[in-house]
Amino acid sequence: MRRPSPLPPPPSRDEREPEEPIEVFLPVVAPRGSDDVDGVTAPVVPIAQPASAEPSRRGAGEHAEPDTAGGGPDEEPMLRARDVWAAARARRRALRAEVRRFTARQRRRRIVWAGSAAALLLLVLGSVGAAYSPLFAVERVRVVGTSQLPAAAVEDALSAQLGRPLPLVDSSEVKAALVAFPLVESYTLEARPPHDLVVRIVERTPIGTISSAAGYTLVDAAGVALSTTPERPKGYPEITVPGGITSRAFAALGMVFRSLPDDIREQVTAMSATSPHDVTLTLGKTGTDVVWGDASESARKAVVLESIMTSRPPAEVSEYDVSSPGAVVVR
């Protein structure tokens, strides 16, 4: 025989109490920058049971009562999509305001840099425009550094540069004009704003004359012919080199002459060399010879010769041999 169960029977469907609706609390954070900094909870949103569950719980013959939108006096309004959108827009506006506040210094810095760059660009463009304008046109050509060459003749040859802006002076035209002057060894152009063009010239140094069928040709140490005259120019020694101006003997002779002191150079009346190792100079009216040898140690030989000529003048000597500067021979 089955014993009765000590537990009471479960209640029937009709006797069960209706289930309470589930309430959800959604926290809502106030937007940044607003006065309300404390967290605020959103209104309670009751989540009701599905309508299909009510008839099954209440019975087949009963109908569920519809929910009213307004609710009772103690009920809070439901959270609508429009409120969510409004809160999102307010938060975006607050974020944009914060971004603008934190980037204001960078914007000011960019504005300062942009203004400085624009001012510098305008200054450069203005300077370049002024330099290439008639405000800096050439009005005077000055030639400096000439002693044998007439400066006025060079200035007339460069008159084509007058009226041009200083940056537009054509260096190729200047070179072509100066080629006509053999005495010009090198030159430099110097612009002196607003209107001056300075031409600095380094002249060639003549070392002597070479006799030919055309007359006497004045040459420098490089063998460049400076001028040719029917008569021998005064003040320049006569050069005798069998190999001509392109030989090594002539090159050695030119190096020796350029190393001489001015007071000795003025006394030289003739120079000869058959090879680079037997350069010989002739001094003054006495015809005293100076056996130089090759062009090595020319500076030392010049000092030794100047010293020995002080103690033994050329009028008393027929020959100075300084080919070995450590052992000078005087005859």
User: Which candidate, 67, 30, 16, places its Cα nearest to that of 45?
Assistant: 67
pLDDT, mean of each 10-residue run, the chain (331 residues): 53 53 48 46 48 45 46 55 85 84 81 88 80 84 91 92 90 92 92 92 93 91 90 90 92 93 92 94 90 94 93 92 93 89
Q: What is the pLDDT of residues 67-108, one digit of tens each?
A: 444 444 454 556 688 888 888 888 888 888 888 777 888 888
pLDDT for position 26: 46
pLDDT for position 8: 56
pLDDT for position 6: 54
DSSP designation for 237? P
Question: Is-contact 154 199, C-beta < 8 A?
Answer: yes
Q: At what angle do helices 104-131 and 81-102 cross, to 10 degrees?
A: 50
d(CA 292, CA 302) in angstroms, rounded, equals 9
d(CA 44, CA 15) in angstroms, rounded, equals 29
pLDDT for position 270: 94
In the chain the first and final C-alpha atoms are separated, in Å, by 171
Phi and psi, residue 108, nearest 5°: -65, -40
Residue 91: burial class (beta carbons within 10 Å; 0-12, 13-18, 19+): middle
Q: Which residues pair with 272 in a beta bridge?
A: 240, 280
Helix H or strand E segment including 140:
strand 140-144
pLDDT for position 308: 93
pLDDT for position 18: 53
